[in-house]
Structure 1
Amino acid sequence: MTESEVWQRLTSVFQDVFEDDEISLSPETTAEAIEDWDSLTNIQLLIAIEKAFPGLQFSTGEVANLENVGDLVSAIIKRVAT
């Protein structure tokens, strides 16, 4: 899976979870940039991301260290890119 494919799939997941087709992600995107991104939605988002990328699972520590969507993409690529 290429980085571009990860971004496309991740954007789709964000749009589904937040029910907003206008969401556009960048490496600098944080929870503060997306309305309704709170701790509950964060859990829903992580579950949806793990479902969208088969075999992907994050530990609590890994999630706590993610500062933005760019960090998330990097973490996904380390596990699923071929």
Structure 2
Amino acid sequence: MNQKQQIILDLNEIFTDIIDEGEIMLNPETTANDIDGWDSLNHIQILAAIEKKYTFKFTLTEIQNLKNIDDLTNIIVQKTSA
């Protein structure tokens, strides 16, 4: 399993805990439109949980440029590899 696959597994746990709509299966193309309950409030909680797990902070630009799970995993890889 590569690093991005592991991150997606970790994100699945975070999303499932926060959104609480049953099991969630993320893939790189997943967007907020694909998941019931992924609203703006949950989005903030998800980002906060990711920051806590990986011990970094997102920049406003990074948050604004997120389009899908692949964008999110790329930022996590970049920030945890630095």
Q: TM-score, normalised by structure 2?
A: 0.87
- Aligned-pair identity in percent equals 38
Residue 63 in structure 1 maps to residue 63 in structure 2: yes
Distance in 2, matches of 1:21 and 1:38, equals 16
Shift, 1:20, TM fit: 3.8
Amino acid at match of 1:8: L
Amino acid at match of 2:79: R
Q: Match of 2:73?
A: 73
Q: Match of 1:17?
A: 18
Encode CA deviations 1:11-56: one digit per residue, 9 max, x unaligned.
11111111244100011100001111111111111101111112x2
- The alignment's C-alpha RMSD in Å is 1.8
**Greater fraction helix:** 2
Amino acid at match of 2:80: V
Structure 1, unaligned stretches of length 5 or more?
A: none
Structure 2 counterparts to residues 44-55 of structure 1, below 5 A: 44-54=45-55
Distance in 1, matches of 2:70 and 2:4, equals 11
How many aligned residue pairs are there? 81
| Contact 1:9–1:52 under 8 Å retained in 2 | no
Bigger relative contact order, structure 1 or 2, given CA contacts below 8 A and separation 6+?
Answer: 1
Structure 2, unaligned stretches of length 5 or more?
A: none
> Which aligned segments of 4 or more residues in structure 1 are displaced greater than 6 angstroms?
none
